[in-house]
Structure 1
Amino acid sequence: MLSLKHVYFFEAGIGILANTFLLVFHIFTIHQMHRPRPTDMITCQLAFVHMVMLLIVLYISSADMFKSLGFPNELKCKVMLYVSRVSRGLSISITCLLSIVQVITISPSSFYLSRFKQKLTKHIAIAFFCICCFSLCSNSNMIINTVAHSNRTNLLNVSKYCSLSSINSIVRALYRMINLSQNIFFVGMMLLSSMYMVIFLCSHQRKSEYLHTMSISPRTSPAKRATCTVLVLVSFFVIMYCVDSIISFFSAVLWKYEPVVLGVQTLVGNMYATVSPLVLISSDKRIVDILKKVINICQFFQESVK
C-alpha cells in the first residue's frame, strides 16, 4: 500500500509540472496574440482545472499537509472534497467543449455549426461560465454530506481523514441521477464529435492519397494534427472514465471503500489529468520547436565547456 501511495504521488507530481508548463505557455500565447486560437483558451482552462484537481488529491492524500492548516478537519474535508468533485466535473465538460470546438473549427462552410466560427471566442467564454455554474450547483451536496472521519458505521471513507455520511435514499438517487445525466450528456457529445472527426480524417486521408497520385507532396495540416490530438484525448478520457465509473459503482453499491480500491481509483481518476498535458505538449508544434531550441542551446553550452 505504501508503494501504491508513492506511485500516485509521482503521478500527481508529473501532472502538476506538465499542467503548470502548459498553463504558463498558453497564458503568454493568449497575451501576445491579438486573436488567439479558441483551442488555446480551452487548453488553458483544462490545464488549470487539472492542476487544481491534482493539487487537491495531493493535499488530501498527505497526512502531514492535511494537519498543517489550523482549520477544523471537517471544514477542510468539505472544501477539499467539494473542490475536487467540481474540478472533476469541469474536466469532463471542458474536454467535451474542446471536442465540439474542434468540430466547429474543421467543419466546412456548409456545415450548420460553422456559423459559430466568427464568434467562437465569445461563445467559449459563455459556455465556460455556464458549465462552471452548473458544476458548482450539481456538486453542492458534497458540502452537506462530507464529514471528518470517525468510528461511525454509516460513513463511507474517501480518505484517511474524510468521509461521506449516508443520506436519504431519495435525495441520494436524485443527485446520482443529476450527475449521471450530466456525464452521459458530455460523454455522448464527445462520442458524436469523435465520429465526425474520424470521418473528417478519413476524408482528409483519401484527399492526401489522391494528391500523392498526382505527384503533389501532401503535408499534414495543422487542422489534421489538432484533430488527431483531440481525438486521442477524448478516446483516452472515455476509457479512463469507464474504468473509474465501474470502480465507483461497485464501491457505492457495497457502501465501502477498501484502501487498495481507493488507491487504484485515485490512480485511474488522475490518469487523464496527468497524461492529457503531455499529449498536448508533444502535439503542439510551437512548444516542440521551443523545446528543441532549448535542447540545442544546452548542447551548445556543454560542448563549449568541454
Structure 2
Amino acid sequence: MYLYNIVVGIIFSSQIGVGVFGNSCFLCCFSFTLFSSHRSRPMEPILVQLMLTNIIVLFVQGCPLVLFHLQKGYFLGNAGCKMVFYLYRVGRGHSICTTCLLSAFQAITISPSHSSLAKFKVRLRKFIRPSCLLCWIFNMIIEVSVPIYITETNGINSSHGGGMDLLYCHNERALKELTILHSLRDILLVGCMVFTSGYMVFSLYRHHQRVQHIHSTCLTPRTFPEVKATQTILQLVSIFVIAYCISCGFTLYKVYVIPSGAWIVVVSTFISLCFPTISPFLLIHRDPKPSRSCCAC
C-alpha cells in the first residue's frame, strides 16, 4: 500500500506539473504577443479565462490527492475541506461554461453571412468579457451551498449515512441528492457544446464543398485562420466532453455501486484533469501565433 501511495502521488504530481507548466506557457505567450503587437483576437480573453481556470482546477483537485497519498493522513481540516471543494466546484463549473462559450462564439464567427447568427458577428467582441464575468458570478452563486455538505473525513465510512467518500473529505450529500440546478447546468452546457460542434462540423463541410467546387487549392488569408481555429476548438470540445463523460461515469459508479471504492476517486480525478493538462499544449501546437511568441521568449 505504501508503494501504491507513492506511485499515485508521483502520477498526480507529474500531471499537475505538466498541466501548470503548459497553462503558464500559454499565458506567457499570450502576454508577450499582446504587449508586442497590441492586438488581440476576439477569442483570446476566453482562452485566457480557460487557462486560469485550468490552473485552479489542477491545484485544488490534484494537490489534495498528492498530499493525502504522500502524507497518508487527513490534513485539510473541516474548514480546508469546505474551501478546497468549493473552489474545485466553482472551477469545474467555470471550465464547462468557458468551453461552452468558446464553442458558441466560434460557431457564430464562422456562420454564413445569410444566416440568422450573422447579425451577432459585429457585436460579438462586446459580449465576450461580460460573458466571462457572468460565468464566474453564476458559478460562485450556485455552488455556495456546497461547503455545507463537505466535512473532514476522519475515517468516515461513506457506505453509511448516504454520503460519499472523497478520500481527503466527505460529502454528506451523495450525488443522487444533488440539486437540480447543478445537473441542469451541466446538461444544458454540454448539450450546447455538442450542438455547436455539430454546427461547426457542418459549416466546415460546406466550406470544403465550396473549395472543391471552385477547384482552388489556395484559401484566402482570412478564411484559413478561421477554419484552423474552428478545428482546434472542435478538438478542445471533444477532449472536454469525452473526459467529462468518463469522469461522470466513474462518479456515478462510485455512488450507486461501490461507495467505498477509493481507486474510483483516483481514476475519476486523473481523467477529469486530463483536459486542463492537454488543452494548453493543443492550443500552442495548433496556433502558430503563440508558438512563435514562445520561440521569441
Listed as ranges, the matches of 1:176-215 within 5 Å are: 177-211=180-214, 213=215
Secondary structure of 2:151's aligned partner: strand
1:20 matched to 2:24: yes
1:139 to 140, 143, 155: 143
Contact 1:243 1:268 in 2 (8 A): yes
Deviates further, 254-263 or 237-246: 254-263
Distance (Å, rounded) in 1 between the aligned partners of 2:51 and 2:15: 15
Identity of aligned residues (%): 27
Whole-angstrom CA distance in 1 between matches of 2:126 and 2:293: 29
- Alpha-carbon distance between aligned partners in 1 of 2:40 and 2:120, rounded to the nearest angstrom: 16
5 Å matches for 1:28-39? 28-31=32-35, 36-39=40-43
Residue equivalent to 1:237: 240
Alignment match of 2:256 (pick from 243, 253, 259) = 253
CA drift of 1:9 comes to: 1.9
Residues 224 and 13 of structure 1: is their aligned pair in 2 closer, same or farther, counting only changes over 3 Å? same
Q: Which runs of 5+ in 2 are unaligned?
A: none
Q: Judge conservation of contact 2:23–2:280 (CA < 8 Å) in 1.
A: yes
Amino acid at match of 2:172: S
State the distance in 2 between where 1:72 and 1:251 align.
23
| Alpha-carbon distance change, 102 to 72 in structure 1, aligned in 2, over 3 angstroms | closer
1:59 Cα offset (Å): 2.6
RMSD: 2.6
Aligned AA (1:186): L
Return the TM-score normalized by structure 2.
0.86
Quick check: 1:201–1:224 contact (8 Å CA) kept in 2?
A: yes
Which amino acid in the other structure matches residue 163 of structure 1? H
Aligned to 2:62: 58
- Give, in angstroms, the shift of residue 289 of structure 1: 2.7
1:158–1:257 contact (8 Å) kept in structure 2: no
Residue among 149, 164, 167 paired with 1:156: 164
Please give the secondary structure, in 2, of the residue aligned with 1:36.
Answer: coil
Which position in structure 1 is the counterpart of 2:84? 80
Moved more, 135-144 or 22-31: 22-31
Which residue does 1:217 correspond to in 2? 218
Pair 1:263 & 2:271 matched: no
In the alignment, the residues of structure 2 paired with residue 7 and residue 240 of structure 1 have an alpha-carbon distance, to the nearest angstrom, of 18
How is 1:87-98 mapped onto 2 (pairs within 5 angstroms)?
A: 87-98=91-102
Distance (Å, rounded) in 2 between the aligned partners of 1:166 and 1:107: 43
Q: SS state of the match for residue 22, structure 1?
A: helix
Contact (CA 8 Å) 2:23, 2:52: kept in 1 or not? yes
| Contact 1:82–1:142 (CA under 8 A) maintained in structure 2 | yes
**Separation in structure 1 between the aligned mates of residue 52 and residue 69 of structure 2, nearest angstrom:** 21
- With 38-47 and 50-59 compared, the bigger mean Cα shift is at 50-59
CA contact (8 A) 2:13 2:66 kept: no
> 1:121: Cα distance to partner?
2.5
- Could you tell me whether the CA contact under 8 Å between 1:54 and 1:273 is conserved in 2? yes
- 1:250-274 per-residue CA deviation (whole Å, 9 max, x = no partner) reads 2122472422111101111101111
Does the CA-based 8 Å contact 2:86-2:146 persist in structure 1?
Answer: yes
Q: CA deviation at 1:62?
A: 3.3
User: Tell me, what secondary structure is at the counterpart of 1:163?
Assistant: strand
Structure 1 SS opposite 2:192: helix
Output the CA distance in 1 between the equivalents of 2:173 and 2:188.
27
